[in-house]
Structure 1
Amino acid sequence: MASSLPSMSEKRKMPSSDNVNGNQPKKNHWSAGLSAAVDDESIQVYKDDLCTVINDKFPKARIHLLVIPNENITNLKSVNNAHLSLLKHMLKVGKETAEKVAAKANACGSFAHFRYGYHAIPSMSLLHMHVISQDFISDSLKT
């Protein structure tokens, strides 16, 4: 018997993960939110010529940062060898910023250890690296 319930992709349309041509969703679409964040100085934790760091809007731990390249890179499928130095820089900036934020918060234990990574199939239409503390304590976590 076939289910009459809509699938997850029917409930909320996700941006295409094969969007390698740089076709961005409409500016006001929720998945384009990171583009606005890169330009909003009030939410920036750090910014340099290559990338911007912001706090995740729905943190999954006490420290949950997003490192976003200033260059318009849609997703992981858009990354090529020319981006290697940028990705290394993003990791370096993510580590340094996380350590500074943790020190400022007087973090210790697992709170001061971090995971770094990208979504294979992102919900947001701009490449971004997550920096998440290991505590995974947050009201935004689903149980």
Structure 2
Amino acid sequence: MGEKTLEEISKAMRDIDITMLSTYAANGAIASRPMSNNRDVDYEGDSYFFTWENAHMVGEIENNQNVSLSYQGHKHFLIAAEGKAQVIRDKHAFKEHWNADLDKWFENGIDTPGVVMIRVDATRLHYWDGMDEGEIVLS
């Protein structure tokens, strides 16, 4: 079993832009979609994503906060994170995680009507790095 630290995992995650965010749909099925972490990774277990208020995943998260994130990096490095998600509508919180790359999706920045932020608080990370694998449990 591997012994990577959370700091080592965080460093590797900075190079992975896209994650698959999985939620539970109303019919119980698992629904996944690609999301960008916008290189906002100073990872202690929280991930932040921006989307539209009317996206299916927003309602799914409000009905069931249990989500998973899947990351694939270079040279067979993978991360699976489990956690709880919440939908944030506070523009002050948006400012902390906003960057200029988001302006192409949300033309008025944090003032774009209908924009929300999803925060995922990871409770467990499992990683694979070639033949090395390990797990980190977060509170």
| TM more than 0.5 | no
Q: Which structure shows the higher helix fraction?
A: 1
Structure number with greater Rg is: 1
Range into which the TM-score falls when normalised by the shorter chain: 0.3 to 0.5
Instruction: Indicate the structure with greater strand content.
Output: 2
